[in-house]
Amino acid sequence: MKIHLWILLFIILAGFISTCIADSLNPISDSLMIQIAQENTIGNNDSIAVSSPGTESVDSNFIYPMPPERKALLISYSQFNNRWRFIEFFVDIALLALVLFTGLSSKFREWARNLVKREFLAVLFYLLFFMIFIYAISFPFDYYREYIIEHEYGFSNQTFGDWFGDTLKSLAVGFVFGVPVVWILYWLIKRFKKWWLFFAVGSIPFIAFMMLIVPVVVSPLFNKFEPIKDQNLAHEMVALAEKAGIHNPDVFEVDASKQSSKVNAYFTGLFGTKRIVLYDTTIKNFTVNELKFIMGHEIGHYLMHHIWYGLFMAVIFIFIAGFLTDKFMGGIINKQSRRFGFSSLGDVASFPLVMLFITLFGFVFQPFSNGVSRYFEYQSDKFGLELSGVNGDEAATAFDKLSVFNLSDPEPSAIIEFWFYDHPALIKRMENVKKLYAQTK
């Protein structure tokens, strides 16, 4: 489970606005839910592992197009993921409720206050106790989903030690960024009646800061970023960016294969920073035209300012969620104060209650944010097609390969797509790019 990093999601809410704040940290995103830089993927919470038609993929033991045994795996993996979406949600709720209703949260607060007197340090130790407990109790679920299942379906390349080390680094990153956020949250609650308004507005510079720091500071903690080795490919990527009016971008290759056979590529940039990032698995498995289409798609997100629209949605979400928290949580605390071990929202021990409400509200809000995200994806598909100059069949093949090589369901049920998919179903995107290309002829 990912509860130990909901502290950050309360601010950046990437899980709810994943259009432009997507899983560019894919090799580590299962353990590090800080999906926050302007790094976007072309699939729905998936990466793209592909090979040229009729050739054997470097990172797989099957040949495109999809053989029957691969189809069976795709169905199995898709069904598992659909079930897991609900399992994860209810387990997250249960773990937060456990900490809250057993009085553990209030005990964590007391332990912290007994150690230190200063408010900031008390919040720091409270959060340390809370995160360690949640990490420990959710570890079996994380191990099963992120390690066992990913190995079972042939994705993960990590040993247990490597995977475990990444989860600890993720926990540390969450703690470092979470402490000041939680301290500011409770400082505002104690001092301002409309704390939710100040908190929402104050999240804007924090999100912008995270967009800047994650690609250059956080991501390199998990992977090595170095200049792309294939100079011809680097030239093509730079030329594509220059064609779009983006001058002198850096081009990096990432050793993502040390964690997973999944593939990703993204364009990130804010203010004076611009970088094209390709996973080594992507470079091995994609044709140049496929890479141009995908990178054109990512550049489209950048030039159409989807990241800023996503930021605006995050702020609106924080505003509404904070307002509703302030409006309704007081009554719940009054009724359950003896069981909870705290009597006001301004007590840091209320943190699990706040997270519980945010989790529920986020689940309800998710279809709206995902609907906006899917619209942005269609826009970027069109932009990528026009910028890259590839034909509709080449673009559609990239989507088809995403389904085949990454075990992504190309035709999910309507309710699953509506509620959970931040990208349109792959079959729809395939049909759309073919239609768009035909209209240009």
CB 436 within 8 A of CB 385: yes
Contact yes or no for 174/138 (Cβ under 8 A): no
Taking the C-alpha atoms of residue 385 and residue 417, their distance in angstroms, rounded to an integer, is 24
Max CA pair span of the chain: 73
Asked if 289 contacts 236 with a C-beta cutoff of 8 angstroms, the reply is no
Using CB atoms within 10 A of its CB, is residue 140 exposed (0-12), middle (13-18) or buried (19+)?
Answer: exposed
Q: What is the DSSP string of 210-261?
A: HHHHIIIIIGGGTS-EEE-S-HHHHHHHHHHHHHTT--S-EEEEE-GGGTBS
33: tokens are 């839910």
Please report the pLDDT score of residue 284 as a whole number.
82
pLDDT of residue 272: 64
For residue 104, give its domain range.
3-439
- Written as one letter, the residue type at 334 is N
CA distance 88 to 52: 36
How, if at all, do strands 273-279 and 250-254 pair? parallel
Phi, psi torsion values for 226, nearest 5 degrees: -140, 160
**Alpha carbon distance 301, 101 (integer Å):** 43
Structure tokens at 165: 């080390």
Question: Per the structure block, which two tokens stand in for 160?
Answer: 């247990």
Count of domains forming the chain: 1
d(CA 197, CA 181): 15
- In sign, the C-alpha dihedral spanning 40, 44, 47, 48 is negative
Long-range contacts of 242-245 (CB under 8 A, 24+ apart): 243/387, 244/296, 244/299, 244/303, 244/387, 245/303
Distances (CA, A) of 242 to 155, 215, 248, 268, 392: 34, 21, 7, 15, 23
Low-confidence ranges of the chain (pLDDT < 70): 1-64, 269-273
Distance, CA of 398 to CA of 38 (rounded, Å): 22
Scanning the structure block, which residue is given the tokens 């140049």? 288
Distance CA 136, CA 162 (A): 18
Angle between helices 288-303 and 306-340 (to 10 degrees): 70
pTM of the model as a whole: 0.83
SS3 content of the chain, % helix, strand, coil (to 5): 70, 5, 25
- pLDDT at 381 (0 to 100): 96
**Tokens describing residue 45:** 């919470």
pLDDT for 130 equals 97
pLDDT score for 273: 67
What is the C-alpha separation between 258 and 275, in angstroms, rounded? Answer: 22
Strand order in the sheet with 225-227: 225-227, 250-254, 273-279, 265-270
Cβ burial, residue 384 (10 Å; 0-12/13-18/19+): buried
